[in-house]
Amino acid sequence: MSDEPISQAEKDEAAYFAERAKAQGAASPGAAPEAPAAHTLFDVQEMELNFGPQHPSTHGVLRLVLKVDGEKILEVKPDVGYLHRGTEKLFETETYPMGIPHTDRLDYIAAATNNHAFCLAVEKLLGVEIPRRAQLIRVILDELQRISSHLVWLGTSGIDLGAVTPFWYAFREREQILDFFEEYCGARLTLHCMRIGGLPFDLTPGWTDRVSEFISDLPARIDDYEQLLTDNRIWKRRTVGVGVISGEECIEWGLTGPVLRASGVEWDLRRAKPYECYEELDFVVPTRQGGDTYDRYIVRVQEMRQSARIVRQCLDRLEPGEIRGKVPRVIKPVAEEVYASIEAPKGELGFYCVSNGTNKPYRMHVRPPSFINLQALPRLAKGHLVSDLVALIGTIDIVLGEVDR
Amino acid sequence: MAEEEQTPGAEKPREAARPVKREAADASGHPWVRSIRAAMPDAVVSAKEFAGEVTVVVAREAIARVARHLKDAEDFKYCVDVTAVDWKTREPRFELVYHLYSFSKNDRIRVKCGAADGEEVPSIAGVYLAANWCERETYDMFGIRFSGHPDLRRILTWDGFNGYPLRKDFPLEGIDTGAAIYPEEWPEGGGPPKNDPNRRFVP
């Protein structure tokens, strides 16, 4: 269904650039030394425009310097760093367990997955085994977090494009997920819900029943959002054919997560390099072939459905047991280096950890999906309109806490 | 809330368990390492394997060629990450770390090279587009310059920022940036007082 408008947009783009080249080519050879002609209304008039850092659609403090010709974007220069807090430096000053709360503040709408990636890196360095119950609960928390992150994305990027209604529904469900987190660990956003070697707490009584009920309801709720958007003509006009990128280009730019999968590359770290108990779980990695904003929307919606399936399977497998592996009181890994990564809601989130044998990491580097994905924005936005840029910032799903660290 | 029942269980002292002492193994016989060595006999300095991860240390001048070789011949199409480590007392001082991933092999390789303070490292941004911002960040945080980079500017701090935050000799409190809001507490030009007992450095 997405074929015809994509080609239309491409045609527009090609026609526009051909026209511009012609206009410029015609102007330069006969470079008139006499008085320059007065600009008419339809001349190419380049202008620099600051977009952000306080613009609501930049989802934080992203500044873009645009070079525009009327509504057409000629060049985008992202300017990041407004939220830089030196997290990697802070990791070096504190012991391993003290680093976990800092990870909450990276991608602050998906704290559980950040905690998880950090813990995985240190666990890989220590070589500890995680008890099965802890693995299952970690996966449940991860997938709930993925659903909530995608819901935030769905609501806010919908609002950016003028679809205000889905926001209220998406945040209704997200609220429930945050309540589950609150019940589990006491926090709603900055969770600090994992520890090196396992989990801080066991589940509270009745938690699994409530999550189970929510998960049963979720597919019907997702149907509701889809009813509002999937076949909505305005939504499709704003998203189909906007920011098309091929699979090979995605890999070249290092794009991961739903962006990559919407371009036809079936690659998900949960499947490619399974961690915890993902290899025994039955789920589909949703992919689409179009590589445009609409396909990225479809992929994320499908991922929520798959996450619900994963949570259901984990809940069925839960059995009483230990929630923490055998980890020494003072964590002093061997002087080595590891890289561990997980499939975060936004893509590959990795931690590169260098130890020098003391109780503090010598170097802890974050490989943030948002930062790397944002890099491709100029490529995606080229030749589109300024209003499409809003759709594109939404579609790569950045969180500035993670971009700037 | 049933935290009362949960918390004591979690805080119960467990028997002290030592993690298994593990050591890195030599990986000079690994097919990827042999492949690099076959293409560029002088490039490989050393190779090791730890926790299932292969690390190859190569010569600084060869890094871009090694990246190109790994991308074209060994199918490492995806540049995961570029960063650096400041070893402060070691020689050379910095260690550049590149993580590459191959979809066909479903595996990662870590390539490293050393660089002394002030030495330029060949940029791999021409090999992998993804490395562009990573190298800018490394330059911003460590002050390592990449030769041949298309747009080597600071990225997370601002142009004209005085210092490289992730170097080990950069004080944790920060430095005077000339943008003091409370000049009586933070005198202009002085930054955090030099005799501040709280002034500390990362170990």
Residue pLDDT tens, chain A, 405 long: 444 545 676 777 777 777 766 766 554 444 444 555 555 666 667 888 888 787 777 777 888 888 888 888 888 999 888 888 889 998 998 899 999 999 999 888 899 999 999 999 999 888 888 898 999 999 999 999 999 999 999 999 888 888 888 899 999 999 999 999 999 988 888 989 999 988 988 898 889 999 999 999 999 999 988 888 888 888 888 888 888 898 899 999 999 999 999 998 989 999 888 888 888 898 999 999 888 899 999 999 999 999 999 999 999 998 888 888 888 888 888 888 999 999 999 999 999 999 988 889 999 999 999 999 999 999 888 888 888 888 888 898 888 888 888
B12 CB within 8 Å of a chain A CB: no
CA-based nearest distance A29→chain B, Å? 30
Q: What's the residue count for chain A? A: 405
Closest CA to A93 of B20, B171, B49, B115: B171
Q: Which of A267, A339, A405 is opposite residue B53, by nearest beta carbon?
A: A339
CA-based nearest distance B103→chain A, Å? 8
Determine the topology of domain A87-404 in CATH: Cytochrome-c3 Hydrogenase; chain B (1.10.645)
Taking a contact as any Cβ pair under 8 Å apart, which residues of chain B between 15 and 34 contact chain A?
15-24
Relative to beta strand A347-355, strand A72-79 is: unpaired
Burial B17-47 (b: 16+ CB within 10 A, else e): eebeeeebeebeebebbeebbebeeebbeeb
Cα(first)–Cα(last) distance of chain A, in Å? 39
Can you say whether residue B52 is alpha, beta or left, with left for phi > 0 and alpha for psi between -120 and 50 degrees? left
Relative to beta strand B78-86, strand B53-58 is: unpaired
List Cβ neighbours of A8 (8 Å cut-off, separation of 6 or more).
A241
CA-based nearest distance A217→chain B, Å? 24
CA-based nearest distance B106→chain A, Å? 7
What predicted TM-score, i.e. pTM, was given to this entire model?
0.82
Domain range annotation of chain A: 87-404
User: 3-state DSSP call for residue A161?
Assistant: coil
Interface test with A, best of B79, B101, B175 (most A CBs within 10 A): B101
Residues of chain B found within 8 Å of residue A363, distances taken between Cβ atoms: 85-86
- Judged by CB atoms closer than 8 Å, whether chains meet at A354 and B108 is answered as no
CA-based nearest distance B10→chain A, Å? 6
- Judged by CB atoms closer than 8 Å, whether chains meet at A339 and B110 is answered as yes
Q: Would you state the pLDDT for residue A32?
A: 43
User: What domains can you pick out in chain B, each with its CATH number?
Assistant: 24-147 (3.30.460.80), 171-203 (no CATH)
Interface contacts A/B by beta carbons within 8 Å: 132
Residue B84 has pLDDT above 90, yes or no: yes
> Tens of pLDDT along A111-148?
999 999 999 999 988 888 889 899 999 999 999 999 99
Taking a contact as any Cβ pair under 8 Å apart, which residues of chain B between 102 and 121 contact chain A?
103, 106, 108, 110
Residues of chain A found within 8 Å of residue B9, distances taken between Cβ atoms: 202
List Cβ neighbours of A263 (8 Å cut-off, separation of 6 or more).
A245, A246, A247, A249, A250, A255, A288, A289, A290, A291, A295
- Judged by CB atoms closer than 8 Å, whether chains meet at B157 and A84 is answered as yes
Contact in structure between A277 and A132 (CB atoms under 8 Å): yes
Both tokens of B89, joined, read 């007392």
pLDDT band at B52 (very low <50, low <70, confident <90, very high): confident
Interface test with B, best of A362, A373, A396, A400 (most B CBs within 10 A): A362
Q: Which of A89, A339, A348 is opposite residue B166, by nearest beta carbon?
A: A89
What percent of chain B stands above pLDDT 70? 75
Q: Would you state the pLDDT for residue B177?
A: 63
Residues of chain A found within 8 Å of residue B202, distances taken between Cβ atoms: 89, 92-93
Contact in structure between A185 and A268 (CB atoms under 8 Å): no
B158 CB within 8 Å of a chain A CB: yes
Interface test with A, best of B23, B46, B83, B173 (most A CBs within 10 A): B83
CA-based nearest distance A334→chain B, Å? 7
Residues of chain B found within 8 Å of residue A328, distances taken between Cβ atoms: 16-19
Residue B192 has pLDDT above 60, yes or no: no
> Tens of pLDDT along B28-41?
788 888 888 888 88
- Judged by CB atoms closer than 8 Å, whether chains meet at A201 and B3 is answered as yes
